[in-house]
Amino acid sequence: MITLKDLKTGEKARVQEIVGGIGLRRRLESLNIRVGKEIRKVSSLPFHGPVIIEVDRCEIAIGQGMAAKVLVEVLR
Amino acid sequence: MKILLMGNPNVGKSVVFSRLTGANVIASNYPGTTVEYTRGTLKLKGKKIEVIDVPGTYSLTPFSKAEEVARDMFLKENPDLILNVLDSTNLERNLYLTLQILEKKVPTIIILNMWDLARRKGVHLNVKKLEESLGVPVIPVNAVGGEGIIQVIQSIEKILEKKEEHTPSIEKMDDEEKWKFIGKLLLDIQKIEHRHPTLLERLEDASAHPIFGILIALLVAYLTLKSLIGAGEFLIENILDPFFYNYYGPLITRIIESTFPSGPIHDILIGTGYDYMESFGLLTTGVYVPFAVVLPYVSLFYLLLGFLEDLGYLPRLAVLTDNIMHKLGLHGASIISLILGLGCNVPGTFATRILEDERERFIALTLLSISVPCMAQTAVIIGLLGPYGIKYIAMVYGTLLTTYITVGYILNKIMKGESPEIFLEIPPYHIPHLGTLLKKTWTRIRGFLLKAIPFFFLGVLVINLLYVMGIMKILTGLLAPIFSSILGLPREAAATLIIGFLRKDIATGLLAPLHLSPEQLVVATTILAIYFPCVATFVVLAKEIGVKGMIKIGILMVTLAFLVGGIQHLILTNT
């Protein structure tokens, strides 16, 4: 398992765990980023910039800190 | 009777609202366009029904001011009916809020908006089955084109007749059960075909790419500025100026002079001199500046802004600038308030409501009100400094940008806390619909005409009265020492600060008859931008930030205005 932060751009992965408080989990979940979902990393901005992921044809930008709290299993 | 329009951000609630009520509200392609509720009326068989457009929210647990408004409206307004608008391309996530709404047992109609887009994206839905599973009416709609709205109205009619028969039967579930329920439901009713990415989708990826994205952003900025200034100058030189100088001006002068050959009434109405930028008569400068200087730029700005908004570009810009904004105590989403603020600080102020925490909102509002001049002011600055060359305009905006960054950097260092991380949905690109774009631009221009022009006339009138009664002389006399010693400006320039509270554009225009050097104009226009917001912005800012916050920002503004202006004066006179 790696974090969403370390996932390579363009790769697909399945969310395994969200390590964080209930607030963060709820927030991510309300945008459908939750355990079991398949996601794709669309882009990642340099110098600790945001990470963009795609969940069900929908793109969401989240901060690096949040991305580091989402553990995923790479799908090949 | 009361209906609430609810749903996730950027699903098209405001478009549905406009369709139902005929009211013109601004709708765009980014989450968080609507941050405050709007009330309107739907007439049904002679009965008036109140319809409320509520800010979008992903759940009933709020994370921002705008989402808080949504939850409070839902819980406190006691709606008779909820119109739950869903994005058909993304049902799974949208249905989470739907379940939260349905378990509160309020009659609900589900609107599957962007039906056509879902088709194109290869998403096929079984409406009948969805209706059966949820136990409430489900209607496919394409709000921008108007398809399905009639069915929605018919359904509203039917439900409001016998409200008690339409209480949803969905039972309360915890989060995990909700997602399970949705998952199972979708397996049954949704089929997704795989489609190859379209050109527009490739462009989506490119504009959030670390390298191409920045190149695209620079290109967008360049093209926007180029077409704004190019088209603005073209309109003024070829249409508006000839009209004013050849027809309107001579005509109005002849009419007034035939009744009042001279005296104070003559001076108040048409002023002194033939230059309509300088005469400061109510019917000369008072008409010329708003219509021939400001209006062309304001209209073009809103047209360009509307295009970028409807395309869905702003959230991408937010992602690209997130890095830099973090250094200023903000995150990328605050770029939206900055860009709206370049049009007018009032909507810019409201746009900070999508930001999550109070510290960030305070910094965003401070930077906005200190260093973001509105388009009306910009238009007059271009009018005044344009003839001396683009270099001087660049000096003004360069100084303001430096101020923005410096103040943000310092506030971020001295205020306790950290800027929260960006958390923003990036909508797909839509090719803007021309009719919708023009209508929205017109709504904004009309707003400008109705709200700005009265203040403009009032400003010109006040200037004249203050001069005629000799009060201006006393006031400028008080400020004269500071003006000449620190800023290198004549005492008359102090009048701009007094009028600037009414409107910044006319105050900037007051500099025209002074015949200042371009360097002096740079200093004067810069401090005018910084020193205090106009009354319209002041009112909303004070409401958003409270009296204490307003005093803090106020002191900061006045200090900074003289500090920045003083530094500019020092640099400009020594080079």
Beta strand A12-18 pairing with A38-44:
antiparallel
What's the confidence (pLDDT) of residue B275?
Answer: 75
What's the confidence (pLDDT) of residue B514?
Answer: 87
CA nearest neighbour of B127 among B151, B144, B104: B151
Q: How confident is the model at residue B470 (pLDDT cuts 50, 70, 90)?
A: confident
pLDDT tens column, B491-531: 888 888 888 888 898 889 889 888 899 999 999 999 999 99
CA nearest neighbour of B348 among B331, B325, B364: B364
Contact A60 B209 (CB under 8 A): no
Mean confidence (pLDDT) of chain B: 90
Please determine, for residue B460, whether its predicted confidence score (pLDDT) is greater than 90: no
Chain A residues with beta carbon closer than 8 angstroms to that of B355: none
Chain A residues with beta carbon closer than 8 angstroms to that of B420: 63
Please give the average per-residue pLDDT across B450-465, as a whole number: 86
**What is the distance between the terminal CA atoms of chain B, rounded to a whole angstrom?**
69
Contact A16, A73 (CB under 8 A): yes
Angle at the Cα of B417 from the Cα atoms of B415 and B418, rounded to 5 degrees? 110
What's the confidence (pLDDT) of residue B279?
Answer: 79
Q: How confident is the model at residue B570 (pLDDT cuts 50, 70, 90)?
A: very high
Beta strand B108-113 pairing with B81-87:
parallel
Please determine, for residue B31, whether its predicted confidence score (pLDDT) is greater than 90: no
* Nearest chain A residue (CA) to B197: A57
Contact B357, B368 (CB under 8 A): no
Determine the residue type at B379.
A
Contact B320 A45 (CB under 8 A): yes
pTM across the whole model: 0.89
Contact A43 B208 (CB under 8 A): yes
Contact B423 A64 (CB under 8 A): no
Segment among B96-110, B149-163, B456-470 with least mean pLDDT: B456-470
What's the confidence (pLDDT) of residue A55?
Answer: 92
Winning range, highest mean pLDDT, from B42-46, B83-87, B419-423, B427-431 = B83-87
Chain B residues with beta carbon closer than 8 angstroms to that of A59: 204, 208, 425-428
How far is the C-alpha of B7 from the C-alpha of B111, rounded, in Å?
Answer: 10
What's the confidence (pLDDT) of residue B464?
Answer: 85
pLDDT tens column, A9-60: 999 999 999 998 888 888 898 888 999 999 999 999 988 889 999 998 889 9
Taking only residues 464 to 523 of chain B, the set having a beta carbon closer than 8 angstroms to any beta carbon of chain A reads none
Chain B residues with beta carbon closer than 8 angstroms to that of A48: 323, 326
Nearest CB to A58: which of B90, B213, B421? B90
What's the confidence (pLDDT) of residue B23?
Answer: 79
Q: How confident is the model at residue B27 (pLDDT cuts 50, 70, 90)?
A: confident
Taking only residues 11 to 70 of chain A, the set having a beta carbon closer than 8 angstroms to any beta carbon of chain B reads 26-27, 29-32, 34, 42-50, 52, 55-66
Please determine, for residue B562, whether its predicted confidence score (pLDDT) is greater than 90: yes
* Residue B548 exposed, middle or buried by CB count within 10 Å (0-12, 13-18, 19+): exposed
Supply the Cα-derived Rg of chain B in whole angstroms. 27
How far is the C-alpha of B269 from the C-alpha of B256, rounded, in Å?
Answer: 8
How far is the C-alpha of B209 from the C-alpha of B185, rounded, in Å?
Answer: 35
User: Does the structure's ipTM exceed the value 0.90?
Assistant: yes
How far is the C-alpha of B316 from the C-alpha of B294, rounded, in Å?
Answer: 29
Contact B422 A61 (CB under 8 A): yes
Q: How confident is the model at residue B418 (pLDDT cuts 50, 70, 90)?
A: confident
Size of interface A-B (CB pairs under 8 A): 102
Helices in B103-165 by DSSP H: which ranges? 115-120, 127-134, 149-161
Contact B424 A61 (CB under 8 A): yes
Supply the Cα-derived Rg of chain A in whole angstroms. 11
Chain B residues with beta carbon closer than 8 angstroms to that of A56: 90, 92-93
Q: How confident is the model at residue B271 (pLDDT cuts 50, 70, 90)?
A: confident
What's the confidence (pLDDT) of residue B274?
Answer: 65
For B18, phi and psi rounded to 5 degrees? Answer: -60, -40
